[in-house]
Structure 1
């Protein structure tokens, strides 16, 4: 049997290839790699180190704690906190040279006071709400607030951005971009030109990037999690999920399977138990719906996915045995299970699939260098 119940293989060399592909597609844009939520569940620190080695322009995180974790791990690339701040950590962010986002006017004085106390400049980005209706200052007041920030002695207006609410809706994208361009144009007429202007994430950036912005925020496409996005044919998934068979049993027709007997065998069946459950990140919504790969063939999930285990039907797959490797996400022979397929089964977005990966899921971050060291016994 394999030494692990379930594991994720994360290909750092493929990540580096994806970054190079992204630069070839967007040669005139700075790239902010979104590594929030532990890099979508893939491991923010090893992912960020690989991106730093590749010369990433910026790293974007969701919280102040995530930014500090990167700095504590020795990551020196520019970091921007995209989300709301935790007040006690503001001075630590200033000390660690982390840029922050201002979502509301009340933060301006608060951040100025904090930067003044430690007598250090704080680079900030102003977020304008052009249609997301979640965070950000109103478009009508954006110019006023940008001017206010520019007058603060310890704040530096490093950037201004907005967030597209419907990046696949061309009409809505045009509306939001036009509104945002009016704001940046008004600021320029007043002599205020933030060095960084950003509006597009993966879908819009790779479909039809805003010509007025000089930075894009890329997450899913960089990790190969957005294959349906235009332009991502040059980028490939960096994640493969695996588990193994820990138990095999033959059942007669009419046998209820699992909690509540939600599946009943209709024939003589051979069922295999996998050492992965919803605590590991295999969604319970895969129950009686999803499929996995065994020996290059598809095997359906039967019964309810439980906290620790999942049962599959391997009746039509010859030679299955305890210890056999099972592919949950990725390729096995000519068959492949994509993250979009899992998302459809679970009725969630693809990014949620990776964000659900639990702490018990062992993550192997692989690269040519790590494989060489392993062969050398180091």
Structure 2
């Protein structure tokens, strides 16, 4: 079991930047000749967007993808200079600052073409854009019926540059639906080629479907879960590794007799003389309430069950069978302790979530601590205070 230095934080996440780099390298080897857009929206899936983006920039990432203008501008304010694409829809009032900060916009409707042309004229500059085609997601994007006309209009504009063309796979696990969407998109790209229009960045696939992207004409893939080591079952000679580990600590211990109701509503009743531990993390911190009475955590290298309801600030676990437990002991919620490991996929299966949600739910009280080598905390030294401050989001 790893020893942990005492700290005042209730709960914290260790972000292994080395694993981010390793996972990116794995993707590059698995997808040769494809540019990679790393999706860092939603605070890099809960990992801390600034630290992740800085590491990816060092690793020569081709593009960063965000969901909102605020996310993009925050990265620019934090010194990120890599190309950034806003994947989501923007309001007209957001466009001027986005363009001023050298952030690329995705077009989802013909009205956006008109708005961007007007803005480009005012600024007297040509604006690169991506056009999203809705081939089956039914959320954002221009229709397949009108996509060719919109692309031609952008290509013909002296004020806009069609840098990219993309679509979004709705059901990555359904091969039939994936193939249908790809077929619709291929028809559009083929029609554009016949018109002499070849956007340099063609992107269809995200992490789950990207491994088969080599069969198509895409030139870029959008990777989130692959980069963070959340996606399982990827092809390649080496697996990806989860970059985020989540920890808390025991703040209270108490022995209870058999038959004692525990927590709000008394949803758990002790079946024996039990030692229960209260840990300082709850649903406000991002721990799903659906873990109540069925999830497991790690204490001293052993799995311990969650008992009672997960509450706003605390969670209770049964440590009766764990010898030597004491207040201040490390609790691992995501990651490895000894020979045991809990992954986001396992938590997701208990809670009816997808693995991404487990890390995206992590709240503002969780201190993110980026590290670059295999350690819990940096060694004492001049950089310790800077790293220990982490990132609150």
Partner of 1:240: 245
Pairs within 5 Å for 1:1-378: 1-231=6-236, 233-368=238-373, 374-378=379-383
Cα distance in 2, alignment partners of residues 371 and 158 from structure 1: 42
1:302–1:313 CA contact under 8 A, matched in 2: yes
1:58–1:77 CA contact under 8 A, matched in 2: yes
Q: Tell me the TM-score normalized by structure 1.
A: 0.97
CA drift of 1:86 comes to 2.8
Higher mean C-alpha displacement, 155-164 vs 202-211: 202-211
CA drift of 1:215 comes to 0.3
Structure 1 residue ranges (4+ consecutive) displaced by more than 6 angstroms after TM superposition = 369-373
Higher mean C-alpha displacement, 227-236 vs 167-176: 227-236
Partner of 2:3: none
Per-residue CA distance 1:282-304 (angstroms, 9 max, x = gap): 11111101000011101000001
Cα distance in 1, alignment partners of residues 14 and 192 from structure 2: 46
1:94–1:120 CA contact under 8 A, matched in 2: no
1:247–1:322 CA contact under 8 A, matched in 2: yes
2:229–2:242 CA contact under 8 A, matched in 1: yes
1:97–1:122 CA contact under 8 A, matched in 2: no
SS at match of 1:221: helix
In structure 2, the CA distance between the partners of 1:166 and 1:309, relative to structure 1 (3 Å rule), is: same
Unpaired stretches in structure 1, ≥5 consecutive residues: none
Per-residue CA distance 1:16-35 (angstroms, 9 max, x = gap): 11111111111110000000
Count how many residue pairs are aligned between Structure 1 and Structure 2.
378
In structure 2, the CA distance between the partners of 1:210 and 1:105, relative to structure 1 (3 Å rule), is: farther
2:292–2:309 CA contact under 8 A, matched in 1: yes
Cα distance in 2, alignment partners of residues 106 and 319 from structure 1: 66
In structure 2, the CA distance between the partners of 1:333 and 1:168, relative to structure 1 (3 Å rule), is: same
SS at match of 1:279: helix
SS at match of 1:132: coil
Cα distance in 1, alignment partners of residues 108 and 248 from structure 2: 42
RMSD in angstroms over aligned alpha carbons?
1.7
In structure 2, the CA distance between the partners of 1:93 and 1:369, relative to structure 1 (3 Å rule), is: farther
CA drift of 1:209 comes to 3.6
Unpaired stretches in structure 2, ≥5 consecutive residues: 1-5, 384-393
Cα distance in 2, alignment partners of residues 300 and 338 from structure 1: 15
Cα distance in 2, alignment partners of residues 373 and 245 from structure 1: 22
SS at match of 2:130: strand
Q: Tell me the TM-score normalized by structure 2.
A: 0.93
Per-residue CA distance 1:304-323 (angstroms, 9 max, x = gap): 11000000000011000000
